[in-house]
Every structure is written in C-alpha cells, then in structure tokens.
Structure 1
Amino acid sequence: MSGAQPRPPVHLPDGVAEPAGLVDAVLAYEDALMADDVAALDAFFAPGPDTLRGDAAGLLLGHDAIAAFRRGRGGAPQRTLVRLEVRPVGSSGDAALVVAVVAPLGGGRGQQTQLWVRGAGGWVVEAAHVSAPAPAIDTRVWRVVGAPLVAPSDPVAAASGSLAGETIAVKDLFDVEGFRVGAGNPSWLAEAPVADGTAPAVAALLAAGASIRGIAQTDEFAYSVAGANAHYGTPPNPLAPGGLPGGSSSGPASAVASGQASIGLGTDTAGSVRVPASYTGLWGLRTTHGAVSRERLLPLADTFDTVGWLTRSAAVLRAVAIAILGEPSVELAASFLVDPALVAVADSAVQLAFSAGLAGIPVDPVGLGDPDELFETFRVVQAADAWRADGAWVTAHPDAVGAGTAARFAIAAAITPQQESAARAALATHRARLDALLGDRVLLLPSASSAAPSTTADSAELDRVRAATLRLCCIAGLTGRPALSVPMLSAPGPFGGDAPLGLCLVGPRGSDVALIALGEKLAAALGGR
C-alpha cells in the first residue's frame, strides 16, 4: 500500500466486504496522478479501444486516446482524497464502482467516478469520469463576464426584438463602453484606456434585443488561427476534447460551443471565424468586406478585416445577419464551383470527407490559380497591414508577446515597401481575375485543412496546418466575398473518433444572408447539423 496518499474513510453497503487490494490500487493511482507519473497512470487504465474517460471537456474513447491526452495536459491539479464510496459490481468480486470525493488544493470539492476491474495483472480502470469544482470564470474563455455584462439597449427590443433572449460573447477586440480592449495580451490590456463608447457592431446586436454575456478571449492581436494564447491558455473545444478551438475568435467559439453564449461576435481576416467554426462544430459567417462597421474595432489588417458571427444553429445566425444587414434582395442559385487544386492542399482525410459530403451535388470544376501564389499575395499585404497597426507597440514591448505571435510580427517587420507595393498590385489583378471566374456562383471548399489539431501538437505541425488552412481561407479575403462555414462534415479528431469539419461556401459580395439560406438548404440535403 502506498504511503504518500493517506487512506481516507471507505464506505461500503452493510455486510459487503471490501474487495481485496482495490483501495490500495486506488491510492497508488492517486499517488501516480499527483506525481504525474504518466507510465504508471497508463498502466492503471485498461488496454483496448473501449476504455472511457470523461470530464466537462468531453469524452475520450480508448486507452491510446486517453494516454495521448494525459501526456499533453501537464499534470493534474493537486488534491487529497476525502472519502471513497465502493460498490462491488456483480458477484465475482472482480469489479467495483468507486466514487472518490476529492479536496483540491485550490478549494472546493470534486468527484471522480471509476469502474475498476481485476484481471491477472491486478486492478485497472475501465471507465472514469472526473468532476472538478466549477470555476467562477474560465479565464481561458472569458476575460470578464456578467449576468448580463451589458443589457439590451432598448427595453422593447429586450422583450420582443429579433434577438431577444440571445447572449453575446464579444471578442476582445471590440470597444464595449466602460471596459478596456485586451487584444489577448495582458500588457496591452494594462495600458488600454477605458472605452468611452461601444463599437457599432456590438451596439447593433444590443439594439436588436441581445445582451452581452461577456468579453471573450482572442489569440494575441488576432494574429493566429490556432486558438492557443500564451498568456491566458487554450479555450476548451467541447466537440473535440483535447483539440484546439481555432482562432483568433477562439474565446467566442468556445463560449458558444459550450452553451455559455448563443452568439459569438468575432472578426475574420484570414479565417478567424471560419476556422473556429469548423473546429468546434458551429455555423460561422465572415461577412462581405465593409458590410459591417469596423469602427471602434482594433484592426489586424484593414485590407482584409471583417466582422463575423458564430452560432450553434443556422436560425440564430440568420436572425443575426438579418438584424444587422437586412433581408436579402435576391436568392442564390444552387450553382457550385470546386477548385481541385485548392482542395488538394487539405489533409487527405479532409479531402475524402469533402468529396463524400458532396456526393450527389452537381459541381463544376474551376481553376483559381496557384494556391501558393495567391496566398503569398495575401500574406504580404496582411503582414504589412499588421505591422502598420501594431508594430510600434510590439517594438516597444519586445518581451510582452508570445513566441508564435512574435515570430509572425518579426516576419511582418521585414516586409519592404517594394514588396508591399508589388503585392498590392498583384492583389488587384487576382481580385479581378477571381471575380471573373467566380461570378455569381458559389465556391465550395473545406473550411480548414484539418479537423482540430491536438493541443499537444508541436510548432512544426501547427505551422503545417496553419499554412494549408490559410491557403483555403485567403480566397474570401482576396475577393472581399462573404464566406460561410457549415458544420456538416467530419474528420478524424486529435485523439481518435470523429471531430467536426466545416464546409465553406464563398458567395458573391453582398450575398451574406442569402448565403446562409443556401447553406441551410445544402445542409438539409446532405444531412448536416
């Protein structure tokens, strides 16, 4: 029996004997957990594909998936056992349900429920569920929350407006009167002034009857599509446990996917609404460039920045779009284009899911040009804009920015005026040519190059995924067109099983609301969410 974890009170039904060796195994497991002894913990979980582990972040299936998750989490919060409730299962004495009440070092009480079975090698866990004390605020998702944080601006709209009862997670780039903009960086937040007004994109939602649930986290300066933040952590992805949520609208996506808000107000420069929508199984719309005011919005790249929304249903997204943009003047015909060379930049599993998902839908092939060349034009213009917007601050605060963001700003700093000028000329040429090719038809492509990568993926893997995803996403940016991510596909997740994958529809400029309606029809025809 281990000596590190003291034996807590053990309760069994009257007249039922304690299974031999079970409590010793539970205590040894706790010792390994507190020491983050990954090898020992792996040995305590039953081998095979049917072993289960669940918590508030989701369910993991199979020993290998659980082991991979455990290796990447960096240990569990320190705790002690308060008591054990043991209930033998069956008559053999070789299985028991154990409920452990635990006292985390940080306070509160939690529970761990495990199904233990005894085999030739001793007791192992076949299924486990962990319930931790609920935090007052998950700072990975939210910077500040309220109940509500800001009420609807019109009492009549609050009761009967088109968005009455809806709650907003505002990306931490928009001004909300009385609050600071944090931009995903604590040093920026510390220096930011209190906003003396509210961004029109926020105010319009409030005027339609929605309330602000809170200000949600973002990747630093919105300069990423991964969803990890070096300062605040990675917002959880409830639809792909152990996976990244996608960025830079990571906080709003996580909040909406987990049911903490019904509308995520985000921005999309190079995919920052579409990618988190894809990773977390949401509907996400990047609006036509310039269709929604960007006043009182911290910019990343003015040439491409757009406002966008994330929702769990098409109905709510449609209501938001109509409230802000008005009813559509025309319907889009179900006339679709696919660029095989563009789709080919995605992972093979995504290509397969995309092809299978469109089976039976008539599409015409189109060649939009070399994806590398198109992206290079986008990248240079975006980087030049980003450095113009934030370069002075980054230069003055060299140690305040996370490594990944700092590396991107370093690349941006090196863009010469000649390179920018050439890229802007190429942008105009590409836009004219792409408009001629696309016309009023709708381009279909995967919303991202993969399902959500693992939170444990190394920088090389994340760079590879990012590069491929940005090649898919840059078409909407180059053309200023709206793009809708529809949660109707799936691909292998970071720890096994299926994870969400969005189908992206890129429509003509100004077709935002009609694009949602077309997305709904397509999802219904193909069995989407």
Structure 2
Amino acid sequence: MNEIYRNEKVEMAPLKEGRLSGYTFAVKDVFAVEGEKNSAGNPDWLVTHEANTFTAPVIEHLLLNGATLKGLTHTDELMYSLNGENIHYGTPPNLLHPDHIPGGSSSGSASAAAERDFTLGTDTGGSVRVPSSYCGLYGIRPTHNAISMKGVIPLAPSFDTVGWMSKSSRILKEVGDVLLHDEIIEFTNITIDLQGWNFLQPEDRHYLEAAINKLEVETKEITGPLEEWATLFRTIQGIEIWKVHGEWIRSVKPTFAPSIEKRFQWASTLDAGMYDELKLKQLAIQEYLQKQIGEKGLLVIPTTPSIAPKKKATSEEVEDVRTKTMQLTCIAGLSGFPQVTVPIMRADGLALGLSFIATRGRDRALLHFVDQYFGS
C-alpha cells in the first residue's frame, strides 16, 4: 500500500509552456481529474461515485502555465479531520519524523511535497495549514472564493478553499502569481496577537519570537474570545457538512474511523434553523477583524499550538491539541482572510508554524512578504 498516493499513476502533461514549466505537482484525492475516480479518503465513496467527466479548473490553470500533474494523494475521510491518519489507506509519513502524525486532512499532499515542487490540498478548518506546520512546509489558505472550488469535493462550502504547500517559499509565491491576481502592496503594521501566542509552551514561543525579531511588530490582543469563535466555526461547519453529505451517509452507511463517525453523528444533531443567525455572528467577526487588522496590516499567530503530536498519543491528548488548534485556525476560517504559514525549525528537527494573516484580497502581497522575509 502506498501511504502517500491513492493513485500515483495519474499524470497530466502541461498544456502550454509557462511560468511553472519544469515544476511537478500532486493533488489531494478530492480534485476532479477527467477519467479518474476520487475516494475522498473513503473506499465507500470510491465505489459509489462515477469517474470524473472533466478536470478541475484549478488544475487546468496550472497545466496551462507549464506545470505537470503527477499523482492523487491521500486525505482524511471526507476531509473531516486535522490528524492525517486514515484507517483504510494508512497514514502518510511526517516529512520530519516517522513517529509523529503528518496533520490533515491534506496529509498525503504534505508528504508528497518531499518529491513534488508543490502540492494542492483543500483547507476548510486548517487542512493545509496544519500539515504544513507539522511537516515543515510553507502553505497557504487563500482568501475564501479567490480560487474556484469547481471540480473539488466540498466539505463546508462557506469555508472551503483550495490551498497549496511547498518546501520553497519562492515556488509557493510563483503558484500564487499564476492563480491569483490581486495587487501587491507593502504592509505597514504587523501585530502579534497576545491571545493566540498564549497557547505556546515557553520554549516554542522563544523559537517563534526569535524568528520575527527582524520585523518591527507590536503586541496586543486583537482577536475576540477564541473559544467562542471556534465553537461558532465548528457549528456553522457542521450544519453545512451534514447538508452536503448527510443524505449519502444515511443511504450508504459508510465505514468511518470512530473519531470521524463521531463527528458526523454530532453534525447530524445540529439545528439547521440556527444557521442564518450564526452567519450573522460570523459577519460581525469579519467586520471586526477587518477594522482591527486594517488594509495594510498583518496579524501574526502560531499556526498550531505545538509541534505534531506523536502517533501513539492518547485520544485525550489528540483532542486537546485539536481543540486548541481550531481556536487558531478559526480566525482565518471565520473571516475568510488569507493566511500563510512559515516553517520554523526547532533544534530537535521538528517544526513549528508561524502564520501571517492579511485582510481579504491581500494574498499575493502576503506571499511576496513571506518570501522576502522568510524565504527559502
């Protein structure tokens, strides 16, 4: 069993020469490739869905700019996890240490970044940002709706984004220059969010603080009650997830890992009648963060509260990390703002993630900023 690729033989040649000529990329097994079937991380999904009749536009765009597609990578089941472990297909390896989880749900894409120039994933609740942080990669969750989700299996549409990862900040930026078209600006104020940094252990905080000492930053509390924000995010997400996948789950009765099944069961109990009220609360948070960060501002947070947990961590330990992680990832999720994570290596060879969040439509500016100050 190949623990990185669900189908390594999938290959599409470039359609033209372009900026990405010579680069190879792999995609998460939720992107449509004409003639191929997707599993979305679950064998029951694979056998109950037909082969794709078209290729996702985001893939075609990359092919038109010279890149070569090589391989469909594994994902957590229906993208509903942040761990990267899959009971059906195995766990893709963490690039830095085999005893640690890779992070999910774009875990296979994170692992494939070792042998591809860049990889595509999806990010709803952190599924590109978390594996990037755990595996020592650069990764981006772009502005919501900046890149078409056509031909991509949804999870929660008002949060779903197409993201990408790479070992190279330059390549991450070049892919952004191809896929995005927003104006490049200079950021004039950079703020460390006190609340987000409080999740870190002192030693890890020291690593991240040392990494940004080259920047002129201020420190203050910008975000609101993150525990409440994460609950709001999870609830809106859960309602959308059940609306998208509930009928298939009821009719097919697929076999899920216990933790995944528990989440779908919880989603099925949510009151969809609360949805509009919850979305109004989300809108208020968006407006608040837009004002707090500003058009030329950056918010700096840890991508995750720690290094990647070990594979043999207890369910309680894993859930504790997940809860804290969601309080960090929900900031970009609720706001729809772009977030780029930068790898910060510890002395033991494991990685932390340092994240920069800009306001809506500042994606390319963010990518260029990261490449300038944290490039590799």
The TM tier, using the shorter chain, reads: over 0.9
Quickly say closer, same or farther: Cα 1:360–1:165, change in 2 above 3 A.
Answer: closer
Match of 2:284 in 1: 429
SS of equivalent residue, structure 2 residue 240: helix
Conserved? CA contact 1:394–1:401, under 8 Å: no
Q: CA deviation digits over 1:472-516, x for unaligned, max 9?
A: 1111111111100111x2347xxxx23011211111211111111
User: In structure 1, what is the equivalent of residue 3 of structure 2?
Assistant: 140
Counterpart contact for 1:331–1:514, Cα < 8 Å: yes
Judge conservation of contact 2:184–2:364 (CA < 8 Å) in 1.
Answer: no
8 A Cα contact 2:44 2:254, kept in partner: no
Change (3 A) 1:491 1:412: farther
- Distance in structure 1 (CA, Å) of the matches to 2:36 and 2:355: 34
What's the TM-score once normalised by structure 2's chain length?
A: 0.95
- 1:356 is matched by which residue type in structure 2? A
**1:317 maps to which residue?**
172
SS in 2 for 1:362: coil
Normalising to structure 1: TM-score of the pair? 0.68
Tell me how far 1:183 sits from its aligned partner.
Answer: 0.2
- Take 2:200 and 2:275, find their aligned partners in 1: how far apart are those partners? 28
CA distance in 1, matches of 2:232, 2:110: 28
Task: Work out the CA distance in 1 between the residues paired with 2:104 and 2:226.
Answer: 22
1:245 is displaced (CA, Å) by 0.8
Check whether the contact 2:96–2:349 (CA below 8 A) recurs between aligned residues.
no
Q: CA deviation at 1:360?
A: 5.0
Q: Is the 8 A contact 2:173 2:371 kept in 1?
A: no
Aligned partner letter, 1:207 = L
Q: Does 1:239 align with 2:96?
A: yes
- Structure 2 residue matching 1:386: 3-state secondary structure: helix
Question: Would you tell me which structure has more strand in proportion to its own residues?
Answer: 1
- Among 29, 36, 44, the residue aligned to 1:172: 29
Q: Which has the higher contact order (CA 8 A, sep 6+)?
A: 2
Aligned length: 374
> For 1:169, what is the secondary structure of its paired residue?
strand
Aligned with residue 211 of structure 1, among 62, 68, 80: 68
Please give the alpha-carbon distance, in whole angstroms, between the structure 1 residues aligned to 2:302 and 2:104.
Answer: 16
Contact 2:136 2:345 in 1 (8 A): no
Q: CA deviation at 1:274?
A: 0.8
* Distance in 2 of aligned mates of 1:316 and 1:399: 38
Shift in Å at residue 165 of structure 1?
Answer: 1.4
Pick aligned residue for 2:355 from 477, 501, 504? 504
Query: Structure 1 counterpart of 2:335, which letter?
Result: T
Supply the distance in 1 between the matched residues of 2:222 and 2:358 (Cα, whole angstroms).
16
Please give the per-residue CA displacement for 1:320-359, whole angstroms capped at 9, x wherever unaligned: 1111113x52323252112111221344443333233333
How many percent of aligned residue pairs carry the same amino acid?
36
Worse-matched range after superposition: 337-346 or 300-309: 337-346
Q: Deviations over 1:173-219 (max 9, x none)?
A: 11000101110001100111110000111111111111111011111
Structure 1 residue corresponding to 2:211, chosen from 345, 354, 357: 357
Q: Pick the aligned partner of 1:460 from 313, 316, 322.
A: 316
> Match of 1:445?
301
Is the 8 Å Cα contact of residues 240 and 452 (structure 1) preserved in structure 2? no
Q: CA deviation at 1:141?
A: 0.7
Q: Which sits farther off after the overlay, 465-474 or 389-398?
A: 389-398
Per-residue displacement from partner, 1:92-150 (whole Å, max 9, x unpaired)? xxxxxxxxxxxxxxxxxxxxxxxxxxxxxxxxxxxxxxxxxxxxxx521101113x611
Q: What amino acid does structure 2 have at the position aligned with 1:460?
A: E
Structure 1 match to 2:12? 150
Alignment of 1:201-350 (within 5 A): 201-256=58-113, 258-259=114-115, 261-326=116-181, 328-350=182-204
One-letter amino acid matched to 1:358: I
Confirm or deny: 8 A CA contact 1:377 1:423 kept in the other structure. yes
Q: Report if aligned partners of 2:196, 2:302 keep a CA contact under 8 Å in 1.
A: no
- Structure 1 contact 451–491 (Cα < 8 Å) conserved: no
Pairing partner for 1:477 from 322, 325, 333: 333
Residue identity opposite 2:141 in structure 1? R
- Cα distance, 1:399 vs structure 2: 4.7
Counterpart CA distance in 2 for 1:296 and 1:429 is 31
Indicate which of 368, 371, 374 corresponds to 1:517.
Answer: 368
Please give the root-mean-square deviation of Cα atoms over the aligned residues, in Å. Answer: 1.6
Q: Deviations over 1:367-409 (max 9, x none)?
A: 3111111111111111111111111222233351111111111
CA distance in 2, matches of 1:387, 1:398: 14
Q: Structure 1 pair 490/295, CA: closer, same or farther in 2 (3 Å)?
A: same
Alpha-carbon distance between aligned partners in 2 of 1:178 and 1:432, rounded to the nearest angstrom: 43
The answer to whether the 8 Å contact 2:14/2:64 transfers is yes
Q: Which amino acid aligns with 1:443?
A: L
Match of 2:252 among 383, 397, 415: 397
CA contact (8 A) 1:180 1:195 kept: yes
Structure 2: runs of 5+ lacking an equivalent: none
